Amino acid sequence: MSRRSGILEFAVLGLLRESPMHGYELRKRLNTSLGVFRAFSYGTLYPCLKALVANGWLTEETGGSPEPASLTGRRAKIVYRLTAEGKSHFEELLAHSGPDAWEDEHFGVRFAFFGQTSRDVRMRVLEGRRSRLEERLEKMRTSLARSRERLDDYTLELQRHGMESVEREVRWLNELIESERAGRDQRAVDPAEQHQKDTSGDADGLPRRRGGSRPGPSDDTTT
């Protein structure tokens, strides 16, 4: 079964669900759209693609002719396309909301595909994430209380900043959960069916912060 890391596999299936792509392009999307959070190298991506093909979740299409590239002699650009089994497998993955879904490594990628995730799963993942962070905060607070005197100012400052970061993410999650509750008629959307950008008013579950102008923080030309 190979049990390849989940996270890359998930992201690849998710991206290919939107449209077929070749490896190179796929990697760029991984490192931008989902990026900030995870950057993969070719040494990881290509073997993974092979494995997904072996599982029957993807097909490889080489350039013009459907023949193996070896016949024509030219090294072909390989376009990967999601199979029906691949699609249903991805949908299974999307539906899972186990504890690992809200761990640091997974949460970002899961969130990135919330547009294709059912509302209740979204809720479970967000709430799971939140309580995960809250228990982490708890631990940080007690451990800090136990050792405050012993620690020097820099260590303390580091600790403080760390806690503030977590608290901030909790507030963010609160907002998101809030909006999810408020928003209605939410169901997952198959991106392949999205022929036109259906701008259906204000129907998503998001805080609507975009439009907040972002006054351009005195864009100083450092560097």
Residue found under tokens 């439009």? 211
Q: Which does 78 bind (CB under 5 to 8 A by kind): DNA, a second copy, none?
A: DNA
147 phi and psi, to 5 degrees?
A: -125, 15
Q: Which does 158 bind (CB under 5 to 8 A by kind): DNA, a second copy, none?
A: a second copy
Q: Is the Cβ of residue 15 or residue 49 nearer to DNA in the bound state? A: 49
Q: Is the Cβ of residue 78 or residue 176 nearer to DNA in the bound state? A: 78
- Residue 159 binds to a second copy (criterion: CB under 8 A): yes
Cβ burial of 128 (10 Å; 0-12, 13-18, 19+) is buried
Q: Is the Cβ of residue 60 or residue 167 nearer to DNA in the bound state? A: 60
Q: Is the Cβ of residue 1 or residue 220 nearer to a second copy in the bound state? A: 220
Give the number of other CB atoms < 10 A from CB of residue 125.
22
Instruction: Return all residues near 90 (Cβ < 8 A) that are at least 6 apart.
Output: 10, 13, 14, 17, 57, 82
Instruction: Please say whether the beta carbons of 26 and 12 come within 8 A.
Output: yes
Site of interaction with DNA (CB under 7 A): 3-8, 22-25, 39-44, 46-47, 49-50, 73-75, 77-78
What the block records as the tokens of 39 is 């950057």
Residues within the interface to a second copy (CB under 8 A): 32-37, 108, 111-115, 131, 134-135, 138, 140, 143, 147, 149, 151-163, 165, 167-168, 172, 176, 197, 204, 206-207, 209-210, 217, 222-223
